[in-house]
Amino acid sequence: MSDESPNLRLPYILPSQAQKHVTHNEAIRILDGLVQLAVLDRDLASPPDSPGQGDRYVVAAPGSGAWTGHATEIAMWQDGAWAFAVPLEGWLAWIADEAALTVFDGADWVAAAVASVNPVAMVGINTTADASNRLSLKSDASLFDHNGDDHRIKVNKAAASDTVSLLFQTNYSGRAELGTTGNDNLHIKVSADGSTWKTGMVIDHSTAHVGFGTDAPEGPLHILRTGTNPIHERVDSTANGPSLASRKARGTPGSKSAVVSGDVVQAFFGQGHDGSAYVACANLRWVVDGTVSSGVIPTRAEFWTFSTGGSYGERMRITPAGDLGVGITAPTARIHADGPVRVGQYAKASLPSASGSGAGSIVHVTDETGGAVLAFSDGSNWRRVTDRTVVS
């Protein structure tokens, strides 16, 4: 049998041993040095000048003087001499000058990490956790880092009607909230007092439709207002104003192809509520009209309305050449109306200036000698279209 224990190397009292108290006291001295191990320092490679009885150190490499050959060992000042203990893997030591717990990993003393706190009821970091905030942190910043590639934070709720959110507070009173609150749609809310909340934006979880002012967006972008209108503002040093760009292409998002004649590039629909649902009442749209080539897309503008009888159709268009058709889809003149055209009516005393109106302007003179008559401007005078006589 060995003369000492396998772990702490405590000497055994042997049969018929004389002076048993010496062996016993040696074992007590080793236990006193190693049990509840707390060392003063682990950065010294040579002994301190004036150690105190019972002082303990971890010898820093390479070790010198009385500590030569004892790197990483526990040096204990006992009864005026240094005693050493060779640590085994798993030994724990408190480093007093660092206020740190270390563990011997078989080669060196490293920071001791708690293998698991699973489960633990509460965790408070620089603050005290409570029953509502079981994980609490008080810090200037927090870092959730990756472990090689991605990093995802998961926040789970029990049912769709519950709430999971990120709440922003001022002096512990809510001011903004981001999350799935009350359903599975993403909500962004704000509050002036932490009690009354207003929803600024909603993203529908099933369609990805975005709603401003509405919890149920019916299209990719749905703005519902009950007061002021949305504002689109541009402030710069150019003559350009705010604009809205719409795009149309055939193919797929990853492989676009040219539009063709008849494609609607842009449409603005006006809808009114008939008491049961919203129905279309007007439409302004831009339609490709002709052969498309590089840098050239001939386009016409169409204006559609509902009549009082419920007929919905095109009422006016402007062709790619700039011809205006009213009630006709193929105008053959600059202005082509499918029906009567009425010009302004004037008494002779109130006729506008012929020169100011410009040559070619037409008016209807209601009190001309011989009866009402159409008149045109020659650039200087109004002349009757019947005989070219100047209106008297």
pLDDT tens track for 276-288:
998 889 999 999 9
199-234 tens-digit pLDDT = 999 999 999 999 999 999 999 999 998 888 888 999
What secondary structure does DSSP assign to 146-183, as a single string?
-SSS--------SSTTSEEEEEEEETTEEEEEEEEESS
Q: Which of 7-21, 85-99, 283-297 has the lowest mean pLDDT?
A: 7-21
pLDDT tens figures, 131-175: 999 999 999 999 999 999 999 999 999 999 999 999 999 999 999
386 touches 372 (CB < 8 A)? no
Q: Which of 175, 155, 152, 154 is nearest to 164 (CA)?
A: 155
Mean of per-residue pLDDT scores for the chain: 91
Query: Mind listing the pLDDT tens digit for each residue in 95-132?
Result: 999 988 999 999 999 988 766 677 889 999 999 999 99
pLDDT at 1 over 60: no
Q: Provide, rounded to the nearest whole percent, the portion of the chain with pLDDT above 90.
A: 76
Within the chain, what is the greatest distance between any pair of CA atoms? 158
> Where does the pLDDT of residue 19 fall: very low under 50, low under 70, confident under 90, or very high at 90 and above?
confident
pLDDT at position 226 is 84
- For residue range 252-268, list pLDDT tens digits in order: 999 999 999 999 999 99
Q: Is the pLDDT confidence value at 5 over 60?
A: no
CA 104 from chain center: how many Å?
46
Phi/psi-derived region of residue 72, left when phi > 0, alpha when psi is between -120 and 50, beta in every other case:
left
pLDDT for position 4: 60
* pLDDT band, residue 392 (cuts 50/70/90): confident
Q: Check pLDDT > 60 for residue 64.
A: yes
Say whether pLDDT at 70 is over 60.
yes
- Lowest mean pLDDT, pick from 33-37, 205-209, 285-289, 323-327: 33-37
**32: part of which helix (H) or strand (E)?**
helix 20-34
DSSP string, 265-333: EEEEEEEEE-SSSEEEEEEEEEEE-S--BTTB--EEEEEEEE-TTS-EEEEEEE-TT--EEES-SS--S
pLDDT classification of 353: cutoffs 50, 70, 90: very high
Per-residue confidence band for 240, with pLDDT thresholds at 50, 70 and 90: very high
pLDDT at 69: 95
- Predicted local confidence at residue 344, as pLDDT: 95
Cα separation, 48 vs 57, whole angstroms: 10
| Per-residue confidence (pLDDT) for residue 10, from 0 to 100 | 59
CA-to-CA distance for 283 and 274, rounded, in angstroms? 17
Task: Decide: pTM greater than 0.85.
Answer: no
